[in-house]
Amino acid sequence: MRCGICTTDMKPDKADRLFSKIAGWGFECVQLSFTSVKECNYKEDGCFEIPWAVTDSACRAITNASEKYGIPIEAVNGTFNMAHPNPDVRAEGLARFGGFAKAVKNIGAGMITLCSGTRNESHLWSPSDQNDTEQAWKDMEQTMRRAVEISEKLSLTLAIETEASNVVSSPEKARRIMDDIGSPRLKMILDMANLFPAGTAKKENVRATIKRAVDFFGGDIVILHGKDIREGDGIDFCGTGDGIIDFTYAAALMRKIGYKGDMFLHGIYDEDKFMTAAGYWRDCWERSKDSEDAK
């Protein structure tokens, strides 16, 4: 399994410098955000993390850097608030998504990562007491279905994940949206830190929680995220290896189901710790070869 990095953990930079650093840290692939590339000249806001479009010159800068340093772009962040209560915001997200998806295709990536969104009007990663309503689900599903249709025409795969603050907040709900839409182009990101709602991040819950999610998704998992979470009553994310996630056990489960994708480290945000985190994950992956826990 290759080890990559989510560029949202990095400071924005010119494409060449960005990929040079990624290669220098020893990463083998990348999950890219256009907000990380200064040539894209875009900064996300509370509802949209995708630009209206990416210029041809910016796409060339990205692909040239990817090829120069031998770092393939496996996925691109395509997050916007799919469940926003204002239909105009959802419509704008889809309008942006069309041009954005073409840019993803242009740089040679095959996957787009999504978030299901929230009824919170100020920020797409913040919770709302309306997220569990049927109307929130209906609005999110309609928006995601349209995004899938756009991506199918470009032969792109979309990948969703559970988020405690979003409408798709559990493995059950992620499984439901994949089954309801029923497209082979809609798959799953396994971000294990996101499986623990407030009050559940306890060491004794870790293995059962991860196993349950893997049982729900199996072969539909196309991206693995290396975010970690600290033990406690709240939700306190941290870098790979700094929390309670049992990455060796998770790696053994991935081997058992025949996972063929990549690991993207996420949640570190300190470039001085990237190489240590990557080494930690690689050690876990190697140890999992002899693990009996998932057999």
- In the beta sheet, which residues pair with residue 80? 48
Q: What is the pLDDT of residues 39-48, one digit of tens each?
A: 999 998 989 9
Instruction: Cite the DSSP H helix spans in 10-111.
Output: 15-24, 56-69, 87-106
Q: What is the pLDDT of residues 76-99, one digit of tens each?
A: 999 999 999 999 999 999 999 999
> How much is the average pLDDT of 11-23?
98
On the question of pLDDT at 294 being above 70, the answer is: no
On the question of pLDDT at 290 being above 90, the answer is: no
Q: Helices 206-217 and 171-181, interaxial angle, to 10°?
A: 10
Q: What is the pLDDT of residues 214-272, one digit of tens each?
A: 999 999 999 999 999 999 999 999 999 999 999 999 999 999 999 999 999 999 999 99
Helix (H, G, I), strand (E, B) or coil at 113: strand
d(C-alpha 113, C-alpha 66), whole Å: 19
More confident residue, 261 or 293: 261
pTM of this structure = 0.96
d(C-alpha 231, C-alpha 119), whole Å: 28
**pLDDT recorded at residue 198:** 93
Q: 189, 160 in Cβ contact below 8 A?
A: yes
> How much is the average pLDDT of 17-36?
98
Mind giving me the DSSP string for 149-209? HHHHHTT-EEEE---TTSSS-SHHHHHHHHHHH--TTEEEEEEGGGG--TT-B-GGGHHHH
Q: 230, 195 in Cβ contact below 8 A?
A: no
Q: What is the pLDDT of residues 121-171, one digit of tens each?
A: 999 999 999 999 999 999 999 999 999 999 999 999 999 999 999 999 999
Q: Is 3.20.20.150 the CATH number for 3-290?
A: yes
High-pLDDT (> 90) share of the chain, %: 96
Mean pLDDT score of the chain: 96
Helix (H, G, I), strand (E, B) or coil at 6: strand
**What are the boundaries of each domain within the chain?**
3-290
**pLDDT recorded at residue 291:** 74
Integer CA distances (angstroms), 141 to 81, 91, 136, 147, in order:
12, 13, 9, 10
On the question of pLDDT at 292 being above 70, the answer is: no
d(C-alpha 179, C-alpha 172), whole Å: 10
Q: Which amino acid is at 283?
A: D
The answer for residues whose C-beta is within 8 angstroms of residue 136's C-beta and 6 or more apart is: 83, 85, 119, 128, 130, 167
The torsion defined by the Cα of 156, 161, 165 and 168, in degrees rounded to 10, comes to 80
- In the beta sheet, which residues pair with residue 113? 77, 159
Mind giving me the DSSP string for 78-91? --B-TT-SSHHHHH
Closest CA to 61 of 107, 3, 96, 124: 107
